[in-house]
Amino acid sequence: MSPVRPVTRSAICAPSDCPDPQSSPTTGVSERAATAVAETTLDLLILQPTPLCNLNCDYCYLPDRLNAARMSDRVLRSALDIVLASGLVDTQLSIAWHAGEPTTLPVHYFENAFAIVAKAARGTVVHHSLQTNATRLDDEWCRFFERHDVRVGVSVDGPDWLHDTHRLHRSGRGSHRGVMRGIEALKTHKIPFHAIAVVTSSSLAHPEEVFDFFRTLGCERVGFNFEETESMNARSSLADQSAGSPRTFLERIYDLNEAAGFPLSIREFTGALEALTTTDLASRNNTPLGQQNRPLSILSVGFDGALSTYSPELLGARAGSYESFAFGNVLRDDLVDLMANHSFRTLSAEIARGIEMCAATCGYYAFCGGGAPANKLFENGTCASTETMYCRNAIQLPIDIVLARLERELSCAPELLEENE
């Protein structure tokens, strides 16, 4: 590979520069969208150590989870070279080891990988995080997390009868018992962790049981991922409205937490409250959703060196007219090559048009910034679109609930309103 070239900010594909996929000019691109692009920093590097997963959850979106290949040292070194020489990393870099089950690889694989990262990083402070199904966590993994201060996220859907409906081993056996063993190991070692729970149609009638489970789990925070239609998961169970209402489920969770004195930090509500109370639009754009809409803000590197950006779920996926979302490979390309890639530029133009459509039509735009490109693509067939089931459940609903509760509180304390008049 030729020497890595830094990315000049003016070279980042501003929406108005990108070719329109339908060959019509991209017009009306807002100042805000263009500014957001120009201010890009590379906030998150997602590394796929392996696509392999030991589980076979029925809603999984990963396309290649039987593949036991692993990222080589050469791919890892090349990825770090192009990222750290890009000029887009400030003093800190977050690395998430994801897109497969990392713990199917042995601890010594990560000891070696972390040593490579530390050597390449030089002055840059690197924060590592890892999302795991927890079934393989033991004392050795916990000691590794301690040594390297790894931020751990555990995927668990709730009590065993609910979790084991969907999160299964390949044999068909439920994984809940193994997950709880892994969580016990984390707690024994006093390693903080957050939980991610997928909410399916099976969850909707049971907010009380779900809340009680997470309230006593010992996690720092829980995030509810409403099952999405994306990639290999061609249809979310939530598309069937007779299964129940996500709104009723999430409202009940809020009310239970409130009645208990807010013992549980719930990502959807803390995020909504922050969005509602933040007047600085630039920091709103720094939310995970804002990052998904900005080129190179999130960079994903596959086990084989495939380079992708925007929503992490695009790595390894196919959708619409896109055969692949690999816009280059770290073994031969740098980020300047990525930005010259035709598919990247086509997708960038689509995303920019979608953001403009959202800005023109959606009352939630100021809190959302135009949504997640992957969900628009998988649900609507194009990123040049607006509302998705994902944004109704994950963006609009938490904002509605928190706003209604704030209004209720204010109506109970009219003196606060008068002070502001």
**How many whole angstroms separate alpha carbon 329 and alpha carbon 306?**
4
Residue 123: exposure state from Cβ atoms within 10 A (0-12, 13-18, ≥19): exposed
Q: Does 132 bind ligand SF4 (CB under 6 A)?
A: no
Helices (H), 195-259: 207-215, 246-259
Would you call 151 helix, strand, or coil by DSSP? strand
Q: Considering only CA atoms, which of 202, 150, 151, 209 is closest in space to residue 174?
A: 202
End-to-end CA distance of the chain: 63
Does residue 396 touch ligand SF4 according to CB under 6 A? yes
Specify the residue, 131 or 291, whose C-beta has the smaller distance to ligand SF4.
291
Residue from 162, 395, 397, 401 touching ligand SF4 (CB under 6 A): that is: 395
C-beta of 385: minimal distance to ligand SF4 in Å? 9
Kindly tell me which residue out of 386, 397, 398, 401 binds ligand SF4, with binding defined by CB under 6 A.
386
| CB 23 to ligand SF4: min, Å | 25
What is the spatial distance between Cα 175 and Cα 164, in angstroms, rounded to a whole number? 6
Q: Which residue is nearest to ligand SF4 (CB)?
A: 371
By CB under 6 A, which span of 31-39, 59-67, 327-335, 391-399 interacts with ligand SF4?
391-399
Residue 394 binds to ligand SF4 (criterion: CB under 6 A): no
Give which of 156, 174, 154, 177 is closest to 164, Cα–Cα: 174
- For ligand SF4, the closer of residues 213 and 365 by Cβ is 365
- Please give the single-letter amino acid code of residue 335: L
- Side chain identity at 339, as an amino acid letter? M
Contacting residue, 185, 391, 397, 402, with ligand SF4 by CB under 6 A:
391
Q: Do residues 419 and 257 make contact, with C-beta atoms less than 8 angstroms apart?
A: no
Strand 298-301's sheet: what is its strand order? Answer: 222-226, 193-199, 151-155, 125-132, 92-97, 44-47, 298-301, 307-309
For 49-122, where are the E strands, in sequence order? Answer: 92-97
- Give the nearest distance from C-beta 347 to ligand SF4 in angstroms: 16
- DSSP states along 203-220: TTT-HHHHHHHHHTT--S
**At closest approach, how far in Å is the CB of 242 from ligand SF4?**
24
Nearer to ligand SF4, 295 or 370 (CB): 370
The CA-based angle 291-229-271, given to 5 degrees, is 40
| Number of residues forming the site for ligand SF4 (CB under 6 A) | 12
Q: Which is nearer to ligand SF4, 150 or 368 (CB)?
A: 368
Which two tokens mark 275? Answer: 């969005």
Stretch of residues binding ligand SF4 (CB under 6 A), selected from 159-167, 252-260, 338-346, 387-395: 387-395
State the minimum distance, in angstroms, from the CB of residue 226 to ligand SF4. Answer: 13
In the complex, what is the shortest distance from the CB of residue 392 to ligand SF4, in angstroms, rounded to a whole number?
7
Smallest separation, CB 84 to ligand SF4 (Å): 32
Q: Which of residues 355-384 bind ligand SF4 (CB under 6 A)?
A: 358, 362, 364-365, 368, 370-371
393 secondary structure, DSSP code: I
> Tokens representing 307?
């380079």
User: For residues 227 and 356, which CB has a smaller minimum distance to ligand SF4 in the complex?
Assistant: 356
Give me the phi and psi of 131, to 5 degrees please. -105, 130
List interacting residues with ligand SF4 (CB under 6 A): 358, 362, 364-365, 368, 370-371, 386-387, 391, 395-396
